[in-house]
Chains A and B, each alone.
Chain A
Amino acid sequence: MSFDVKAFRNEFAFFQQHPDWVYLDSAATMHKPLAVIAAELAFYQKDNSNVHRGAHQLSQQATTLFEQARDQIAKALNAKRREEIIWTSGATQALNMLASGLMGTVLKPGDRILLTALEHHANIVPWQFYCQQHGVFIDVVPLTAEHELDLQAYQQLLELKPKVVAVAEVSNVLGTIQPLEKIISLAKVAGAIAVIDGAQGVVLARPDVQTLGADFYVFSGHKLYGPTGIGVLYGRYELLDLLKPLCFGGEMIKSVSFSGTTLNQLPYRLEAGTPNIAGAIGLAAAMCWLNNFDSAALAAHKQQLFTKLYQGCLAIKGLELLSPQQNNAGILALNIKGEHPTDVAAILNEQKIAVRAGTHCAMPLFQALQLPGAVRLSLAAYNNSQDINRTLQALEQTVELLQ
């Protein structure tokens, strides 16, 4: 199956609204196809009711749609059981639930966990917060001179017997795709639970969680063509069942009296309050819509654009490229020598090139790189060749203006 860029781009109303913009900020949030917007709209117009609690048929209908969405995610990730899929507001909430929920059950005072130098703050700060409270130690896998995870150091740190290894599938700054299979299998041998932050990775391909062997895999809907405010926490049932809830109230409770409360079963036990019903349905619609396209052709198109962008940037004098060209998910972090990234982004903005500048919620990574930040250009399959041409021209103009 070949890939029709124009037809694919036409799925997104956003580009018709902003024909003069080049959107290279998909790592921050992606645009939503009409199919996703239509699914959310249809839910509110036709099916809106609260789930799991109404005595009426309308609520049962909404519940069916909501639970069907869960089934769809479970199927897409090849989860063993539907109860292994927990709706969250996004990857950040999922990681917070893990960091708090594993304390006291899996993680005891004096235990260790292992993070890496290129994690997003969402995969650092919750661990820091709860580890400090519970006397758990954090070790950090350093980077090599090539900005890659130091796998040798990783193996040495595994000898300290961490109980948890939490790592991003793709670096949100550099775009580097991590060798997940290797990381997970080594973690398993060392007896650690593997937590995978799939926020930037899930768009490449939905993981087969069973083959991958991930104990937990989290992602956000809005980085997978879906709505904001919805995400997924996948967990292996036995481990998920150990997780203490972070939030209480609503359908997560079986019975309450002032002498005590009994919690509901999975998945509801971890879904306090009214969930983002329309968001869940929208995310399921995004996954369903993605199935209309040949994923290999989609990836090849994005890769082709990335190569063009990377090669073009290499040819512009004065640019410093931080991202690797190989094993890259379509993210290019760069700087103009001697210039602050916010200045570069401001001049790109003037030319209607949407990028992100700063430390990208990964300050420890920039401390390791000894840089104040970077400009991040991130691609999605809806970008086209003209986008790259315009970006390269704009970058040349920016270099020229900053001289």
Chain B
Amino acid sequence: MTAHELILQSKAPYLAIATHELPAIAASSDWQNKYRILMNLGKQLPAFSSDLQRDELLIAGCDSKAWLLHQFDGITQTHYWAFDSEARVVKGLVALAICQLNGLPNNELAQLDFTSLLKPLGLYQNISPSRQNGLQAVLDKMASQIKAAN
């Protein structure tokens, strides 16, 4: 699979997560249920084939191995991502972020406050962006990719 194909194949699942799981997690009152959904998000997304688990796509500063693919469409000025990790928590958390950002235009993304993306989900009480789960490192990388396209 090429990087382009993977990004393309990930679009529909991210869209589905934005429509179903994202509101379901926010609406869920107990943490077990939130986690059940979170942990299974990764299963809907295509996994990175071994040739795409390349070192230059690795996110540094994360306790598990994690890879981020990014594509900027110069014509529509929009960004797309795909993400994979050995760990399910970070894969789920990043999916919840990407599903809100995928396909948005550059100027809109550049003004967005990334820290507020996952707050309404009620996961933040204990899951904070940390080195352990790597969420912060991924969000930082995405922000730099948006900045670079400006």
Query: Which A residues fall within an 8 A CB radius of B?
Result: 339-340, 342-343, 345-347, 349-350, 357-358, 372-373, 397, 401-402
Contact = CB atoms under 8 A, between A and B. Distances in A.
Per CB-CB distance, the 4 closest pairs between chain A and chain B, nearest first, are A340-B87, A346-B89, A342-B87, A358-B63
Interface stretch (B94-102, B104-112, B125-133): B125-133
5 contacts: A340-B87, A340-B88, A342-B133, A350-B126, A402-B39
Interface in B30-86: 31-32, 35-36, 39, 63-65, 86
Given A340-B64, A372-B64, A401 B35 contact: yes
Contacts of B88: 339-340, 343, 402
Given A342-B89, A347-B35, A372-B65, 14 more contacts: A340-B86, A342-B63, A343-B87, A343-B89, A349-B126, A350-B35, A350-B126, A350-B127, A357-B63, A358-B63, A358-B132, A372-B86, A373-B63, A401-B32
A217 to B, nearest CB: 31
B90 interface: yes
Contacts of B133: 342, 346
Contacts of A346: 89, 127, 132-133
Contact of A342 (B35, B64, B126): B64
A401 B32 CA distance: 7
B96 to A, nearest CB: 14
A346 B127 CA distance: 7
Nearest to A402: B39
Contacts of B63: 342, 357-358, 373
Nearest to A346: B89
Task: Report which residue of B31, B32, B86, B87 has the largest number of chain A beta carbons within 10 angstroms of its beta carbon.
Answer: B87
A339 B127 CA distance: 18
Contacts of A339: 88
Contacts of B126: 349-350
A342 B31 contact: no
A343 B36 CA distance: 12
A343 B39 contact: yes
Contacts of A357: 63, 132
B39 A401 contact: yes
A131 B90 CA distance: 39
B31 to A, nearest CB: 6
A345 B126 CA distance: 11
A401 B89 contact: no
Contacts of A401: 32, 35-36, 39
- Name the residue in A349, A357, A397 with the highest tally of chain B Cβ atoms < 10 Å from its Cβ: A349
Contacts of A402: 39, 88
B70 to A, nearest CB: 23
Nearest to B36: A401
Nearest to B90: A342
Interface centre among B36, B64, B90, B127 (most CB of A within 10 A): B64
A372 B85 CA distance: 13
A350 B87 contact: no
A89 B64 CA distance: 30
Nearest to B32: A401
A350 B64 CA distance: 19
Contacts of A358: 63, 132
A339 B35 CA distance: 14
A343 B62 CA distance: 13
Contacts of B36: 401
A278 to B, nearest CB: 29
